[in-house]
Amino acid sequence: MTALLEVCNLGRRFGGLVALSGVSFEIEAGSTVGIMGANGAGKTTLFSLIAGNLRPSSGDIRFAGSSIVGLRADQICGLGVARTFQIVMPFPALTVLENVRTGAMFGKAKLRHAAQADIVARQVLADVGLAEVADRPASTLTLSGQKRLEIARAVATGAQLVLLDEVMAGLTPVEVTQMLQTLRRLQASRGLTLLVIEHVMRALMDLCSRIIVLHHGELIAQGSPQQIGENDKVLSVYFGAHS
Amino acid sequence: MSEPLPDRGWLLVLAVGTALMAALPFVANDYLVGTGLTLLMWVALAQSWCVLSRLTGYVSLGHVVFYGLGAYLVVVTWQLVPLPLAILGAGLLAALFALAVGLPVLRVKGPYFVILTFGLAELVKYSIMAIESASGIASRILFGTPDLVRVYFAMFALAAAAILLLSWVSRSRFGHGLRSLRENELAAETLGVPVVRYKLLAFVLSAAIPGMVGAVMALRSTYFVVGQVFDPMISITVIAMAILGGGDNAKGPLLGVIFLTALSELLWAQAPLLYMIILGLVLVVFVLLVPDGLLGMFERRHSPTAARIGPSQ
């Protein structure tokens, strides 16, 4: 089975600051892969590079076999890559349904008619548990609701690969449990491939078959949650020197 | 907000309004026809302006530049080119100008865009003034312009076209993309909206009709003064009408235009100085107390949840 996403020797500088360097990994279709690392490790930069919000300084990103480096964000979304934003970016004056409609009308789905798009959008909203608030302005949602809305919009684009940037940050433990169920349900029903940045370790360990660890812009470890939990490098980065 | 299907009340009002305006030249005197022409002009300008500024949130304070360019084209091609062709050419010129300046201009946002569009319009105004004076032309007078009724119906067609354009864009996929990028450009682009292309297309679409409006109005005044067809008050009045009307569909600006044209007709003749003062007051009151305009007031009355229109900022 060929990888859905291949990241080869990826690097990004901001002036003199190296945000990411020499990062390589592959993501199999249908898998859920976690990305961990401290603040400033380059996790969000990695997402911005994959989604086309930023251009890499070096290296290549291949999606479904072809390079997507140099494409605009909307073109990459059109190929089937969607992302959420850690700092939520709803369309505040539009309703929740209209927010999700944008994903369904554009993205990969490209449904021309609002009515068609709304069928898809309502389905996704039901899946993430926002069906009841579909006609409320997005600005009235709670943080948990806005995180769900981010996911709903991304999924409604019809993407195969969804990049989730800290969708559980700031949620209560009960909400985290609900979110994990939601993600599993979405993945199972739509065959999604998920790449997940998360600080909630329980969630990451629970959800992912594989975890990639970034530290100061470099990939220092990857493997199953158990392997990562026993990896000396990771432990020394997270907990200091380890005898 | 994508439109729910046009409601019957609105269609009825529109149909009656269209019939009245179409009948006006046959029953009214020249003064009233002239007032009707002014009303139609503002309708065409305000509806066009909304295609860009209401739907994308990029507030243009320089829409008069398209109007002025259109007028100028008709004047310099007077009796060289058949008039209908010159009017269409004016629309094309305005659209091409928008296309040419659009990419750099639409890179800046918010107040910077407002100032930039204003400055651009002034730049074009003074450039054309310089060209005119360098070529030694003191004033241009158009002989043999069409009669008022013809001018009126040309404007009638432009106003109708502008209403149709805004109504179509407002409920289209394109319009939904524009509203999305108005709310958050980065999020819209990441969801697949081609924001650069959409903004540019909205800019070009909102320029074409004002170019033709300028061309038709040049026939009305018969003499041509650069400072008059590039008067910044035209841009400002259009914005005032859109703010008073509210909303990002065809209804709002129409209400604003009718309200402001009526106000000016009532006051202008009686108390011209008072008019500007009252206009200022009305604007302040609307911006502070009724940010979603007359349309918002109406819709709130009918359904308390429907009143969320216009840019959120």
Is B133 in contact with B227 (CB distance < 8 Å)? no
CB spacing of B2 vs A103 below 8 angstroms: no
CA distance B162 to chain A (A): 23
pLDDT reported for residue B270? 78
CA distance B238 to chain A (A): 24
**Predicted confidence (pLDDT) per residue in B135-157, tens digit:** 887 678 888 889 999 999 999 99
**Predicted confidence (pLDDT) per residue in B43-66, tens digit:** 999 999 999 999 999 999 999 999
pLDDT reported for residue A56? 96
Instruction: Reduce the DSSP state of residue A5 to 3 states and report it.
Output: strand
Partner A contacted by B185 (CB < 8 A):
no
Mean pLDDT (whole number) for B240-251: 87
Mean pLDDT (whole number) for B71-83: 93
CB spacing of B191 vs A154 below 8 angstroms: yes
CB spacing of A113 vs B173 below 8 angstroms: yes
Please say if the pLDDT value at position B301 is more than 80. Answer: no
CB spacing of A106 vs B190 below 8 angstroms: no
Residue spans per domain, chain B: 8-231
Chain B residues in contact with A74 by the CB 8 A cut-off are 189-195
Alpha helices in chain A (DSSP H): 43-51, 73-79, 96-105, 114-128, 143-156, 173-190, 201-207, 225-230, 232-239
For each of the domains in chain A, give its residue range(s) and CATH number, in order of start.
Answer: 3-239 (3.40.50.300)
Partner A contacted by B181 (CB < 8 A):
no
CB spacing of B180 vs A77 below 8 angstroms: no
Which one of A94, A100, A118 would you mutate to disrupt binding with B, by most B Cβ within 10 Å of its Cβ?
A94
Number of residues that this document lists for chain A: 243
Cα(B300)–Cα(A214) distance, integer angstroms:
52
CB spacing of A110 vs B192 below 8 angstroms: yes
Mean pLDDT (whole number) for B187-216: 97
Please say if the pLDDT value at position B265 is more than 90. Answer: no
ipTM of the prediction greater than 0.90, yes or no = yes
CB spacing of B1 vs A154 below 8 angstroms: no
- From the list B49, B114, B61, B58, the residue with the least C-alpha distance to B253 is B49
CA distance B284 to chain A (A): 23
Mean pLDDT (whole number) for B177-193: 97
pLDDT reported for residue A70? 94
Please say if the pLDDT value at position B264 is more than 90. Answer: no
Chain B residues in contact with A78 by the CB 8 A cut-off are 192
Cα(A29)–Cα(A13) distance, integer angstroms:
29
**Predicted confidence (pLDDT) per residue in B216-241, tens digit:** 999 988 788 899 999 999 999 999 99
Q: Name the band, by pLDDT with cuts 50, 70 and 90, for residue B84.
A: very high
Chain B residues in contact with A51 by the CB 8 A cut-off are 190
Please say if the pLDDT value at position B2 is more than 50. Answer: no
Partner A contacted by B305 (CB < 8 A):
yes
The pLDDT averaged over each successive group of 10 residues in chain A (243 residues) is 89 93 95 92 95 96 96 97 96 96 96 94 96 96 94 97 93 91 93 92 89 94 91 84 56
